[in-house]
Structure 1
Amino acid sequence: MTRATEAYTCAAIIVAVYLVVFLGFIPLPETVQDKIVPVLPWWALITFGCYCLSNIGNAMYTFRDCPEAYHELMGEISQAKNDLRSKGLQLN
């Protein structure tokens, strides 16, 4: 089974369970059914967004931990600047 198939299977199971709970086929306390279950998709979306932002922030923070990639990128930037300067563009 590929990773995509596993992800789709998990997503389908989660959506099915949510619909069963949301439609009330599983009896839950009234407070949970009326106040918590309807906002679960928004909570999941915000949690996923926070995870993505923290993952991007961590990757940016630890970027200098890869000295070879850092030096390669800085060399490419200087090559691009030199190429633009040779074409008459003034850079800082």
Structure 2
Amino acid sequence: MTRATEAFTTLAIAVTVYIVLFLGLLPLPDVIQNKIVPVFPWWALVSFGSYSLGNLGWHIMTFSDCPEAYAELMTEIQAAKADLQSKGVSL
């Protein structure tokens, strides 16, 4: 199973469970049904955004711990500078 298929399968299961809960097909206490279930997609979106920003920040902060990636990036920057200078752009 590819990673995309796995992600779409997980998403489909989550959406199905949410629809079942939202429509009240599975009996839940009134507090959960009326207060938590309607805002769950927003909570999931905010949680995913927080995780993504935290993960991105952590990898930016620890970028210097990857010497191979640093060397590759510096090589690409030098190649881009040389290409721009050959086209007459002053840097």
Superposition TM-score, scaled by structure 2 size: 0.80
Q: Tell me the SS of whatever aligns to 1:8.
A: helix
Q: What fraction of aligned residue pairs are identical, expressed as a percent?
A: 64
Q: Are residues 25 and 61 of structure 1, via their aligned partners in 2, closer, same or farther at CA, if it must alter by over 3 Å? A: same
Per the alignment, residue 39 of structure 2 pairs with 39
Relative to structure 1, the CA distance from residue 80 to residue 11 in structure 2 (aligned partners, 3 Å threshold; closer, same or farther) is closer
Give the unaligned 5+ runs of structure 1. Answer: none
Q: Corresponding residue for 1:79?
A: 79
For the aligned residues, what is the CA RMSD?
1.9
Change (3 A) 1:63 1:28: same
CA, structure 1 residues 34+78, in 2 after alignment: closer, same or farther (shift >3 Å)? same
Report the CA distance between 1:78 and its aligned residue.
2.9
Q: Which residue number in structure 2 is paired with residue 49 of structure 1?
A: 49
**Which residue of structure 1 lines up, in the alignment, with residue 26 of structure 2?**
26
Distance 1:80 1:32 in 2: 56
Higher relative contact order (CA 8 A, sep 6+): 2
User: Which runs of 4 or more aligned residues in structure 1 lie more than 4 Å from their structure 2 counterparts after TM superposition?
Assistant: none
Structure 2 unmatched runs, 5+: none
How far did residue 62 of structure 1 move? 1.5
Q: How many residues end up aligned between the 2 structures?
A: 91
